[in-house]
């Protein structure tokens, strides 16, 4: 099993739709999780972090299911500007030194 696994997509959704991505991880000791956003050929930028069961920031909700070892990202009322690749990131427990990135899920929001 890969350390971090994501559905590559692409997810094509109309503006205003709700879309959810899942990310599974193999290290059951991981405590914190992150979603980064990456626009085409640009650098990744932190979108959200989740340490407990979930985190909400406006239209974005990140949820954690430790029993099944997955995290999800929910985007409500999708905007054209949400089109990007979303990277799931799992750090090694207790250290900033090693981050494992998923390969990313591509989202395309259309009119």
Partner 1 sequence: EAQVTQNPRYLITVTGKKLTVTCSQNMNHEYMSWYRQDPGLGLRQIYYSMNVEVTDKGDVPEGYKVSRKEKRNFPLILESPSPNQTSLYFCASSSNRGSDFLSSYNEQFFGPGTRLTVL
Residues of this chain that interact with partner 1 (CB under 8 A) are: 8, 31-32, 34, 41-46, 49, 51, 87, 91, 93-99, 101-104
Are 97 and 13 in contact, with CB atoms under 8 Å apart?
Answer: no
Please report how close the Cβ of residue 40 comes to partner 1 at its closest, in angstroms.
Answer: 11
Closest by Cα among 78, 1, 64, 68 to 35: 64
Please report how close the Cβ of residue 32 comes to partner 1 at its closest, in angstroms.
Answer: 6
Residue number with CB closer to partner 1 (18 or 93)? 93
Q: How far out from the chain centre does Cα 29 lie?
A: 19
């Amino acid at each position: 099993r890969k350390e971090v696994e994501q559905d590559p997509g692409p997810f094509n959704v109309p503006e205003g739709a709700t879309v959810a991505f899942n990310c599974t991880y193999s290290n059951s000791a991981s405590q914190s999780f992150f979603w980064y956003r990456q626009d085409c050929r640009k650098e990744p930028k932190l979108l959200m972090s989740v340490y407990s069961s979930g985190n909400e920031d406006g239209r974005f909700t990140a949820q954690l299911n430790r029993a099944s070892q997955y995290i999800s990202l929910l985007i409500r009322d999708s905007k054209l500007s949400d089109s990007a690749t979303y990277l799931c990131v799992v750090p090694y427990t207790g250290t900033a030194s090693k981050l494992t990135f998923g390969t990313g899920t591509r989202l395309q929001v259309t009119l």
